[in-house]
A and B are shown apart, each in its own frame.
Chain A
Amino acid sequence: MNTLKTLAFSMLTLALFSCGGDKKTDSIPTASTTETTTTATEAPAASGTNEYDPKRGLGPHENVDVSKFDPAMAAAGKKIAEVKCTSCHKPTEEKLVGPGWKGVTQRQTPEWIMNFISNPDPMIDVDPELQKQLELCLVRMPNQGLADNEAREILEYMREIDGAK
């Protein structure tokens, strides 16, 4: 049921994007995507333009400072991940329900990662990499209701997996 809704919504969202996507608030407020839609509408990248930045993604996060590594933050991120993420993701390269995390911080920018994990649905609809991934995994990544600081902490944990010190 939810999948159907999400599918219907994603088709609508795509349609909106392809024709300018200016009146997004008029779209069907389906349950699982209302919040994320709002976030996307408010995001700087989405306002007034239909240009999607595949380096940044869709969402509130931009210019994430990763010049230093913070082990305490990474530890906090690991804890959150064990509640909300590791049901589907392994810290290795191995695919479970979703892809393994190893190497993700080398493939994607910090902004993209934080936007995606806190605003998955709208990004899956437009991001070419995520579209490819969806064809492999067939499960849309659930929105796990991450707070901004939680998304940052998970990013730090991912960086640790990839060898940040």
Chain B
Amino acid sequence: MKSLKLLGLSTVVAITALTGCKPKGTETAVSGDAAQKVYVAPGKYDEFYNFVSGGFNGQVNVYGLPSGRLLKVLPVFSVNPENGYGYSEETKPMLETSHGFIPWDDQHHLSLSQTNAEVDGRWLFANANNTPRVARIDLKTFKTVEILELPNSAGNHSSPFLTENTEYVVAGTRFAVPMDDENGDVPIDSFKENFKGVLSFIGIDQQTGGMDLSFQIEAPGINFDLSHAGKKKSGDWFFFSCYNSEKANTLLEVNASQNDKDFIMAVNWKKAAELVKAGKGRKVVTEYAHNTWDESTHSATSTMKKEVVVLSVEDMKEAMFMIPCPKSPHGCDVDPTGEYIIGSGKLAALIPVFSFDKMIKAIADKNFAGEYDGVQVIKYEAALHGEVQKPGLGPLHTEFDGQGNAYTSMFVSSEVVKWNIKDLKVLDRQPTFYSVGHLMIPGGDSGKPFGKYLVAYNKITKDRYLPTGPELAQSAQLYDISGDKMKLLLDFPTFGEPHYAQALPGEMISKNQVKFFKIADNKHPYATKGEAESKVVREGNKVHVYMTSIRSHFAPDNIEGIRVGDEVYFHVTNLEQDWDVPHGFAIKGNQNAELLIMPGETCTLKWVPKKPGMYPMYCTDFCSALHQEMQGYVRVSPAGSNTPLIYSLNNKKDNAQSPVKEGETK
């Protein structure tokens, strides 16, 4: 990694030397008023919410822009001890898959829901790269409310990308693999015969946001990297960048770089959906989990699905085409007008810009260069609008400002390059001080970008901050793009590796924020609505504690008669009805996490005491001046003992008295 960094750096020097400019040092990179432009005074809000992929920690992180302040970490594909996500009984089903419970994944890209090609602040979609999944996050609560596993896939990289009205979320496989209903136990060197690259189309319910794996397309066994839907005139189409058209299966850095050009694959998703409706495609027997969160019961359910409709290349004859694209394309970005499709080849020294109109004409004219595995290949020149010459080295991703300009990240030469989409002239370039990967302009991949800021996220860390051991802090850089020249305003650290991100004006979300859950609407089967309902119920070796919390006590706060070998379920209902008064719940020796229960919510922690003794429990989230007093005891007796099951709150003789109650046994 270090040598890569050195290489990157030396290339910067080489490139800047070539272009005749003096290399800019970090000292001169920021102009005088940068600090003012990112300063958000205490009590003032940031202008934008920035949702940034948490990379290999499987989360999504929310930052404010322009301050770069971390607002929240949203657990999506990884368990989170902070609030018990993936540990509490209600959230465990969210991480179920056909491989069982998976507490981790690699979260790459994000996509905000859109209406008429504009971001609308309803939902955020996130992908899991390792065990292919797509998640939906509700932006009213910032909670992961749905996770759908993807069959016939591996390395869910080119996802989740959305159509302009959130009709479909797409997910293309990075690894070609044998289909699930075929034998996967085959020699790897039979790749060319047995491996397929499958594209998944997830239909979205417009009212609820609910996801449904509508169909898949069994494409040739190439690697799908990234994608974007068309918009406006190209709104019926999806574009995918593909690498490894060589279909190599070993030492890909050499063997997948043999061909001068790979492809951008264009898929007419509307036609594909019609084909499925007309009964085309075969039903593939498989297994994939569909996990949904119910906001009224505060609980998730995991369902295993058994079948998916798969269209073949033959079915897609009129609706799927290849466009040659210079070497190993990575980014595949569509401009706000929907006319230009920009491919970025990791190994290319130019940026090809394709024209949607030309592509349609080429298809109509049958201006093909041949076939690739049964897919018609459009002639490169026939679809090409033009090439941006000498933009920099290693173009990866392109975002748009809505003013006719494109901004492309250059991984190898570590810079952001601004260029005009129509005349393809380079207008500006700014160094990034690390090997840059994804770019993000709020709304920058929609039909209506908010072209004020651009954020560049690192791919390889550099020493932007105090050193932190062998691994350095990951980084993002904020640029002001409101003028002709990009201006670097701010560095801020991120979780690594920050892949794609999305942003939108804060008010689009904050106006709809859920402040607390109405206790009357709480339909959790173990909800305790009021202290009078609190109780302890034994069912064999299972003990259910119906518990409440309010500033500053639990009810009950003393429980006796638990035995070693019992499975104790603490169902804690937070009785508060005020914004921002969560209560925590933790108990000594628990091989689990804690709960963090929002006002009006019920959460369940499972606890299996291993030895007799006295076990304190307490609230972990500071809730009032008497927070420290919010605690209680559970007495655990040896297995088989007959200590009576009792519970109480405030049963002291020398104090206000409440009765000690007998636990129920069912």
Partner-B contacts on A (CB < 8 A): 1-3, 5, 27-29, 31-32, 34-35, 82-84, 86-88, 90, 94-97, 138-140, 142-146
Q: Which residues of A contact B567 (CB under 8 A)?
A: none
The answer to whether A145 and B516 touch across the interface, beta carbons within 8 angstroms, is yes
The reply on B626 being an interface residue by CB < 8 A is yes
Give the total number of A-B pairs whose CB atoms are below 8 A apart.
81
Q: Which residue of A lies closest to B534 (CB)?
A: A87
Among B216-224, B334-342, B574-582, the stretch that binds chain A is B574-582
The answer to whether B555 and A142 touch across the interface, beta carbons within 8 angstroms, is no
The answer to whether A144 and B579 touch across the interface, beta carbons within 8 angstroms, is no
Contact of A95 (CB < 8 Å), options: B552, B555, B577, B656: B656
For residue A67, give the distance in angstroms from its CB to the closest CB of chain B: 30
Contact of B532 (CB < 8 Å), options: A32, A86, A88: A86
Among B183-191, B387-395, B616-624, the stretch that binds chain A is B616-624
Q: Which residue of A lies closest to B657 (CB)?
A: A94
- B residues 415-453 near A (Cβ < 8 Å) are none
Contact of B518 (CB < 8 Å), options: A27, A86, A96, A145: A145
For residue B649, give the distance in angstroms from its CB to the closest CB of chain A: 9
Known: A2-B622, A3-B627, A87-B550. 14 other contacts (CB 8 A): A3-B624, A5-B580, A28-B43, A82-B532, A83-B529, A84-B519, A87-B531, A96-B650, A97-B552, A97-B553, A138-B625, A139-B551, A142-B576, A146-B577
The answer to whether B578 and A145 touch across the interface, beta carbons within 8 angstroms, is yes
Q: Which residues of B contact A35 (CB under 8 A)?
A: 515, 579
Contact of B550 (CB < 8 Å), options: A27, A28, A88, A90: A88
The answer to whether B575 and A84 touch across the interface, beta carbons within 8 angstroms, is yes
The 17 sampled A-B contact pairs (Cβ below 8 Å) are: A5-B580, A31-B580, A32-B579, A32-B581, A35-B579, A84-B530, A84-B575, A84-B577, A86-B531, A87-B530, A97-B551, A97-B552, A139-B552, A142-B576, A144-B576, A145-B577, A145-B578
A83 CA / B252 CA spacing, docked (Å): 63
For residue A102, give the distance in angstroms from its CB to the closest CB of chain B: 14
A2 CA / B619 CA spacing, docked (Å): 14
The reply on B548 being an interface residue by CB < 8 A is yes
The answer to whether B532 and A139 touch across the interface, beta carbons within 8 angstroms, is no
For residue A6, give the distance in angstroms from its CB to the closest CB of chain B: 9
A144 CA / B577 CA spacing, docked (Å): 4
The 5 A-B pairs at the shortest CB distance, nearest first, are namely A145-B577, A31-B580, A28-B43, A83-B530, A143-B578
The reply on B42 being an interface residue by CB < 8 A is yes
A16 CA / B427 CA spacing, docked (Å): 51
Q: Which residue of B lies closest to A85 (CB)?
A: B530
Q: Which residue of A lies closest to B577 (CB)?
A: A145
Q: Which residues of B contact A143 (CB under 8 A)?
A: 577-578
- Chain B positions 515 through 534: 1 when the CB is less than 8 Å from some CB of chain A, otherwise 0: 11011100000000111100
Q: Which residues of B contact A142 (CB under 8 A)?
A: 550-551, 576-578, 581
Q: Which residue of A lies closest to B532 (CB)?
A: A82
Contact of B656 (CB < 8 Å), options: A83, A96, A139: A96
- B residues 622-661 near A (Cβ < 8 Å) are 622-627, 650, 656
Q: Which residues of A contact B531 (CB under 8 A)?
A: 82, 86-87
Q: Which residue of B lies closest to A146 (CB)?
A: B577
For residue A144, give the distance in angstroms from its CB to the closest CB of chain B: 4
A79 CA / B656 CA spacing, docked (Å): 23
Q: Which of B519, B520, B555, B578 has the most CB of A within 10 A?
A: B578
